[in-house]
Structure 1
């Protein structure tokens, strides 16, 4: 197809006239240009900035530009667009631009004898065409990965699209050090370094996301988000109470400066179909109001008999430049996920061996049903006082309505009998209604004092979680076997279970509130050395009230509320980064995290919080002009004050053991990662984790593995190669995940490790139409996923071989 852009570029940019080019050169402009033809990108920058550019059209013929996103001078935007093109930008004394071939291998912008120094780095990955992130925002402000003295991974928009990752659990299982497992429910459990991550961040605002009266029901689409940022290791400075394993920050898509529309259709195995519209662009002539709209429909059957799912998702966002230095962002997302799930999977034999059944085996009833509606409202305001100082406030409000009824097949004892007997049908109806609110504000500033470059960050955040929950259940012994499951038992309801012998209901409410003040100070006493000191003071209030209503009773008997509160909990942070050269840096860090407990001692007092200390040293690299990120880390986390049974006191607490704060566990290991364009046209992500977890002090489990579902070895690899020359329309992807064995819940049997290969073939049919075929589990590996595997249930097969064909249409404007 003939592309007229290169032949008309010079004429187009010559029409862009600005009264003072020198003034435009000094001004920071906002750019949001997706990756595309170099000629188009240069033309857009020239048009927006009013500069005149001179070049030979043949120089840019057929060349591609990376995304140019963020606030920067026009000259810097031009230089970014020219990255990797073999061309360089020159600026005349009059402020005019010219593009010339590189003659000495140096693509540094020439401006007399002065180089333009990059003053701002945008962390957006959409349109970058890269697996390497330039920066992250998870630590407040914007920093490169090399500047953060902890392990950080970013899954970019391109990697998610290439691998076809639309669900947070699936993305976690392709990320260094993370494990995403099926919980006891429709949702997921995320862990890092052996510890659950139950508070998730949205645009840097943390909220509780996996707190339920029963089971695990948290689900999360990724279609609304630009990237997933993962910090491993204790994250108490950022969110107070939280996981010792780390933090996850989901950064949403924003309105765009250039009109962009993408329509994607997909069809795959098990009648899996989907259609998505993603459109954005300026809503006024000056581009000070920008919008984004995403609509997604997805429906699928399953390799498991009777299972199906349907998800309807909508997202709308508006960004307003109230002034040149102030931006307001508003957005709302809604996901309605309806399904017939299999809850608690398959049981195992009493000796721990897996059952020999087809992967299509379904243990539920035909009336199993789950409906999860999640609506989230986002708001943020950023004010930039100047190049060095900025204030930002962000808020998130999420409402979740979660209703389910399901038949679960479990064993009446410890595992199945040899003939498959010993099963029990458990009927559950749940109705959970929760509201999560989060608020975060911070001030970040850079300055020079005492001949030292310094940066300070001061902030505070607040979160509130309230719920109105209820669930009812019965347990029914049966003479059926695993090989003769009854899928047509009578349908159940909440009221029906209360009129069934053995039925019982539990209404309950959560009220969890947390607030904190935090701050950090970065200082460079000498040029290659950066010291980071920080601290947080947290306040935490927890209340859980519940009641029990027996069958044929109209009265619910309230139980004693479970409460705890912590006041003025102090969390320190310290780090050091030493730049070996422009590309490499070594670092070390120490941080604490605390987790409140609700268990009580014989005196009736609540146990003091679990306290943990995280130590980490490592090496980070930003190679090939930032196109490749690498890291190597050694870590240890020691946690103490864990609640253990106070056996010596007898059954002194409501007929059971009281507790003492004497438990201690340790997680330690090594992580290594590389991401980015390691060779021309080859994008690579590879992450290896060696992690051991162990009880150091415990009256029952001392010396045993602490986290059963954390493999000792994990390796995640994915690569994508874009051919050149006559094959330039073709791209291929190949990767695998492999991990060593894990343990079942009872720690008496192993869940074997596995290796699963995936691949992709892409073809650009026209400049507007991209075709792709993704194949997962290429060699049809038959395996059980690692997770909450128990003798009496919760064992799930991994997905068999499956394919997904997609067509993406992106019209040009």
Structure 2
């Protein structure tokens, strides 16, 4: 197998700021590498240190490396990995590494090193780092350490996702500082931060809409294709125009590596949960100028809820081409097919807001419930490096999403179920959503010195488009049945049957949303410890929504007037300041504006002007222990004005609906604290605390009340993993919990209780090629309702009971 790969391997991985060979040679780093194939260990050391290693593959084929754990120089780590291999390390005149055979007299057998071509490697990549601390982040277009960004930023690395067994974006969000992932009224999720929805999600820095209402509650996203999840909290308008005041997320995909790697993972767990994944990548030609990556994943599971099941098939392929020494083209495609029998809308409550004492296994749907979600995504990017200081990047994403479902929902006839369990309605639904999302981003980044000041500029533009062709059909059927005796065998439905049932109706609808903008930012260091960041964006926004109402039986159709809004030349300014107290600590402050277009109309028939918001943040950040630990502490406030408020006093005289006035005000404020990385030798830790309040400042009905009912006032997310040493060096153990205070139901008249859930992991490296692990979730089997879009008439979901997942990971040698 080795003969298929190049005759000389090279690893060239740069950190956020590439150290000179002399500096890297002298600096101690923290390594946490278990025993394994020698080639993989050498590649991991090179990746973490930013060094180049040249060797003949035949030299390391079949050889194993001992665990390399602790603080040491790069040379010491290399020497430790080579112990007992019959090989030795040689440092070239350029400060790079060469691995050569050792001979008895201690001198090295001099081998000619094959000429190789280096390729540009993303300095923010977290694969292979073995760390919870990201060295740099790319969500702001150019690469910067977290300490250099004057806003709150979290990076969930590949290692943390793997350790915690996180394969779904909603689950990952609920393990991340300040984020809340909730299930809406569909199969998918809604992401919020600081009390506001994040509607545009970025893929490799290209934003596209994922939470437009008809589809948003059905938007799903697995994580197996991605290297990391980057989260920016606070206003993000500079990055994506009509950005959420809560923040932005960026999913950065996996790429082909400089050395061949293959892993095969099998898993089996509670509720007949089984899965198999193949992840392979590496150079595809001798010079390494073409690199590939493939991920194939099969997953199927039943559920703790009666009758529920799911099957998911996922496939990802990527190619990266070095067209020239300074130009790289990346292409990729992913496809996910998810079929399930879901329970939608969950459980109702009693009319007084109390939860109903139902078993966690209660299913409110029918045996014919069925959902199919198919997502195909195309990725492309081109990067040209003019020199070490200037870079041009163009990225594009196109996502086609098809969602179909037929399902039964159980809900209350009135405001909640009666005390005796009656007052139940069966709602039959057919949904068919078909949407296309496309995004394009182009930016130029440069570093230069002028007037004796270090400076950086970023200028660019982006465009996004969302179109959909959707239809829903439904009937509501009051019943004398009892919530404790639900009928799961009612007649199966279809669109045709619903449209021939008295009382049924259908709503075809179409969205067409387009946004474009130009943006720029300028970083300047007038004096050595001080950096100023100034930026602005000019945005254009066009929104159109059309729909019809079709009555069943008669098929009488009413065409609703189109809802449109346009915003032209909306300017979003940004300003930040970072002051380095010393090499490890910095204080910062930032301000940015937000605008959010609205679709409601006022008395004159005009669309209410956009919501205008102001986001303020001050904080302290640390990059400690030579970059092995990131810390942050932030105070934030967001004030929102001109929020549309419905004016019921005039009646439905605005196109058949009530008019609105832009007089609402909302405030979100609080504190966030986070630490991530190797806080002690062998101990990786992530911990994030959030205190957040949201309130209506001006509203005729809600003034003084909580604005975001599903945002807890207190959230604490903790996860740790310890790699043992000595005789136990093949063992690692993880432990963590997520805890949050109560939230409010949608009607704001009852509490949804807070909860604390503990999780754990135990892993054992059976051989250098085979690793075993067990993840246990909800260790103490806490019974709780997940916070979210909880309502009296439905959408209350139990959190998962205690469950376990066993996995076996096989990593062959090359």
Q: Identify whether the pair has TM-score above 0.5, normalized to the shorter chain.
A: yes
C-alpha distance 335-128 of structure 1, shift in aligned 2 (>3 A): same
- Does 2:556 match 1:552? no
Structure-2 change in CA distance of 1:557 and 1:687 (3 Å): same
Q: 1:171 to 1:93 in 2, by over 3 A?
A: closer
Report 1:460-479 matches (<5 A): 460-479=461-480
1:289 and 1:224, CA in 2 relative to 1: closer, same or farther beyond 3 A? Answer: same
Q: Which moved more, 1:436-445 or 1:35-44?
A: 35-44
Equivalent residues in 2 for 1:62-461, closer than 5 Å: 62-64=66-68, 122-213=123-214, 216-461=217-462
SS state at 2:607 partner: coil
SS at structure 2 position matched to 1:559: strand
CA 419–289 in structure 1, closer or farther in 2 if over 3 Å, else same: same
How big is the shift at 1:440? 0.3
Change (3 A) 1:47 1:344: closer
Match of 1:572 in 2: 573
Map of 1:714 onto structure 2: 715
Map 1:503-522 → 2, pairs under 5 A:
503-522=504-523
1:40 Cα deviation from its structure 2 partner: 3.9
Q: Deviations over 1:483-533 (max 9, x none)?
A: 110101100001111100001011111100000000000000001000000
Structure 1: gaps of 5 or more residues: 1-11, 14-23, 53-59, 67-76, 100-118
**Counterpart position of 1:590:** 591
Separation of aligned partners in 2, 1:432 and 1:648: 36
Deviation at 1:651, TM superposition (A): 3.5
Question: Could you say which residue in structure 2 is the equivalent of 1:20?
Answer: none
Is 1:635 aligned to 2:636, yes or no? yes
Q: Deviation of residue 211 (structure 1)?
A: 1.5
Matched residues in 1 for 2:349 and 2:736: separation?
31
What is the CA distance between 1:554 and its match in structure 2?
Answer: 4.0
- Aligned to 1:237, the other structure's residue is in SS state helix
Q: Deviations over 1:446-497 (max 9, x none)?
A: 0000000000000000000001111100111000010110101100001111
> Is the 8 Å Cα contact of residues 184 and 215 (structure 1) preserved in structure 2?
no
Report the count of equivalent residues. Answer: 751
Q: Distance in 2 between matches of 1:680 and 1:742?
A: 38
Q: What does residue 727 of structure 1 align with? A: 728
1:153-187 deviation digits (Å, cap 9, x = unpaired): 00000000000000000000000000001110100
- Structure-2 separation of matches of 1:83 and 1:571: 53
CA drift at 1:655: 4.9
SS in 2 for 1:495: helix
CA–CA separation in structure 2 for the residues paired with 1:648 and 1:43: 73
In structure 1, the partner of 2:28 is none
For 1:447, what is the secondary structure of its paired residue? strand
- From the superposition, tell whether residues 780 and 451 of structure 1 become closer, same or farther in structure 2 (CA, over 3 Å): same
1:81 and 1:287 mapped to 2: Cα distance?
25
Q: Encode CA deviations 1:754-804: one digit per residue, 9 max, x unaligned.
A: 000000000000000000000000000000010000000000000000000
Matched, 1:741 2:745: no
Does the Cα contact within 8 Å between 1:777 and 1:801 map onto a contact in 2? yes
- Residues 13-69 of structure 1 deviation map (CA, whole Å, 9 limit, x = unaligned): 9xxxxxxxxxx989x9xxxx99676964796669966599xxxxxxx9735389xxx
TM-superposed CA distance for 1:578, in Å, is 0.3
Measure how far apart 1:79 and its partner are. Answer: 6.9
CA RMSD, Structure 1 to Structure 2 (Å): 2.7
SS in 2 for 1:238: helix
Going from structure 1 to structure 2, the CA distance change for 1:735 and 1:94 (only over 3 Å counts) comes to closer
**How is 1:785-804 mapped onto 2 (pairs within 5 angstroms)?**
785-804=786-805
Measure how far apart 1:82 and its partner are. Answer: 6.1
**8 Å contact kept, 1:121–1:135:** no
Residues 641 and 664, structure 1, Cα contact 8 Å, conserved in 2: yes
Q: Offset at 1:552? A: 1.6
**Secondary structure, aligned partner of 1:258:** coil
1:242 is displaced (CA, Å) by: 2.0
| 1:212 Cα offset (Å) | 3.9
Contact kept in structure 2, 1:277 and 1:296, CA below 8 Å: yes
- Where 1:612 maps in the other structure, the secondary structure is strand
Offset of 1:213 from its aligned partner? 2.5
Distance 1:697 1:769, change over 3 A: same
Change (3 A) 1:248 1:92: closer
1:646 Cα offset (Å): 2.0
CA distance in 2, matches of 1:730, 1:65: 12
Task: Return 5+ residue gaps in structure 2 as ranges.
Answer: 1-7, 10-19, 25-30, 57-63, 100-119
Residue 758 of structure 2 is aligned to residue 754 of structure 1: no
Q: Is the 8 A contact 2:561 2:655 kept in 1?
A: no
Measured at CA, do residues 333 and 132 of structure 1 come closer, stay the same or move farther in structure 2, by a change above 3 Å? same
- Shift of the 443–479 alpha-carbon distance from structure 1 to 2, 3 Å rule, reads same
CA shift for structure 1 position 606: 0.2
